[in-house]
Amino acid sequence: MQDYSDEEILALYRDEASQNMALHYLIQKYQKKLYWHIRKIVISHDDTDDVLQNTFIKIWKGLAGFKEESQLYTWLYRIATNESLTFVKQKAKANTTSIHPLEYQLSKSLESDTFFSGDEIQLKLQKAILTLPEKQRIVFNMRYYDEMPYEKMSGILDTSVGALKASYHIAAKKIEDFLVTH
């Protein structure tokens, strides 16, 4: 499938006759990247599916107002990140029946999740990541798994490069300590 550039997709979108095509190419280009970005935050596949759909709906509705002050992928990732964080917060609020925090429950659910194929050490690593605060978790995942440069991350998370570096190193230290002690 031909991979259209962001500029081409935006050009297709501006033409009313080809807007549907623009949507199709936009989804094809970014669905996997955004899926994995969201999945690492919300963990569950079903929750990821919901958040991803809502993300694309929000993107579609907001695309008319996209001012191209930032790169398209920055804007998409920002929406996906915010939707994921909102979802996690709502789920934590609704989690009133259990005495355990949401992250603990997610950590436990990984053990029996059919959509988790990692070995023991990978499971331990994911549990370690879940002990981090949300934003630190996002920073760690984007740097460690996505290997994203700090400058790109800064645009997405609206945080300075220095703060991101500090956040990443603190996260890595916490994970290291968790892996050693568990």
Q: Which residues bind another protein (CB under 8 A)?
A: 20, 23-24, 27-28, 31-32, 35-36, 39-40, 45, 49, 52-53, 56-57, 60, 114-119, 121-123, 125-126, 143-145, 147, 149, 168-169, 172-173, 175-176, 179-180
Query: Which residue, 98 or 114, has its beta carbon nearer to another protein?
Result: 114
Nearest residue to 49 (alpha-carbon basis) of 34, 59, 64? 34
Query: Which residue, 63 or 157, has its beta carbon nearer to another protein?
Result: 63
Shortest gap between Cβ of 175 and another protein (angstroms)? 6
Shortest gap between Cβ of 54 and another protein (angstroms)? 9
Query: Which residue, 23 or 85, has its beta carbon nearer to another protein?
Result: 23
> Do 138 and 153 meet the contact criterion of CB atoms below 8 Å apart?
no
Shortest gap between Cβ of 39 and another protein (angstroms)? 5
> Do 106 and 44 meet the contact criterion of CB atoms below 8 Å apart?
yes
Note the residue count of the chain.
182
> Do 60 and 2 meet the contact criterion of CB atoms below 8 Å apart?
no
48-77 residues labelled b (16+ CB within 10 A) or e (exposed): beebbebbbeebeeebeeeeeeeebbbbbb
Query: Which residue, 135 or 152, has its beta carbon nearer to another protein?
Result: 152
